[in-house]
């Protein structure tokens, strides 16, 4: 079977699962909500208007991760993967289509989320939102790319672990707890973590070794490694 019909079938699966559609909606709503709350409570000498506007991305990424996890984990329940591979024997082609089917909707929603967060954040901050046009574009595009990379990272890890519960149990505590602990202990180590490196694009200024786009490149390397491991697992292990 050619790649296009495989991709079409994977996109159809996502459109017809309410939990996945709800996950995409949660990306937008949670990001915009927490960005608005952060803007209303932003003050102090370390105030960063760009990060304040996109502060909610830290919460929206949880919904993006849940989306990527659920989209892949559904294949490992009830023998769904066996039925899928019966229709698409080329496992690599199927997994590539699954990754694209996860990444494209998240990218579209992520860019929309970035635009909404920018509008909401600027409205809440008022005159404090002294952002340049370049910073605004970087924030919106960076928001969309970062959320997409995190969703794909979760998708690849789920293919390896074959369990949505295991993936979420690993990634969410890591993002909410471990990343901050490591960051407080050693900045050199924290700079290499996928979330911290990727979120540099959402800051006006940064102290680490990576700039906005090189930070996203680090996150992309983590994502590529997870997808490669996921593809290997799908090819080598029984359905």
CB crowding 150-183: b at 16 or more within 10 Å, else e: bbbbbbbbbbbbbbbeebbeebbeebeeebeebe
**Nearest Cα residue to 206 out of 217, 197, 219:** 197
**Percent share of the chain, pLDDT over 90:** 61
Q: Which residue has the tokens 């608005």?
A: 36
Element spanning 231, H or E: helix 212-236
Over the stretch 136-172, which tens digit does the pLDDT of each residue have? Answer: 999 999 999 999 999 999 999 999 999 999 999 999 9
Distances in whole angstroms, Cα of residue 110 to Cα of each of 31, 61, 120:
10, 10, 15
Tokens for 162, please give them.
């074959």
Residue the block writes with tokens 């082609």: 93
Dump pLDDT digits (tens) for 95-137.
999 999 999 999 999 999 999 999 998 998 888 888 999 999 9
């Amino acid at each position: 079977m050619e790649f296009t019909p495989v991709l079409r079938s994977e996109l159809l699966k996502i459109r017809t699962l309410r939990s996945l559609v709800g996950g995409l909606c949660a990306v937008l709503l949670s990001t915009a909500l927490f960005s608005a709350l952060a803007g209303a409570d932003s003050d102090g000498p370390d105030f960063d208007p760009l990060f304040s506007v996109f502060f909610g991305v830290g919460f929206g990424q949880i919904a993006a991760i849940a989306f990527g996890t659920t989209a892949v984990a559904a294949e490992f329940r009830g023998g769904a993967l066996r039925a899928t591979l019966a229709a698409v024997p080329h496992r690599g082609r199927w997994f590539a289509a699954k990754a694209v089917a996860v990444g494209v909707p998240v990218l579209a929603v992520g860019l929309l989320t970035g635009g909404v967060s920018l509008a909401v954040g600027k409205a809440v901050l008022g005159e404090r939102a002294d952002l340049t046009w370049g910073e605004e574009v970087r924030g919106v595009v960076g928001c969309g790319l970062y959320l997409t990379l995190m969703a794909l990272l979760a998708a690849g890890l789920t293919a390896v672990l074959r369990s949505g519960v295991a993936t979420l149990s690993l990634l969410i505590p890591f993002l909410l707890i471990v990343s901050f602990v490591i960051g407080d202990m050693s900045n050199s180590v924290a700079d290499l973590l996928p979330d911290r490196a990727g979120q540099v694009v959402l800051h006006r200024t940064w102290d680490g070794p990576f700039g906005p786009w090189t930070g996203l490149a680090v996150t992309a390397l983590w994502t590529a490694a997870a997808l490669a491991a996921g593809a290997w697992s799908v090819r080598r292990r029984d359905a």
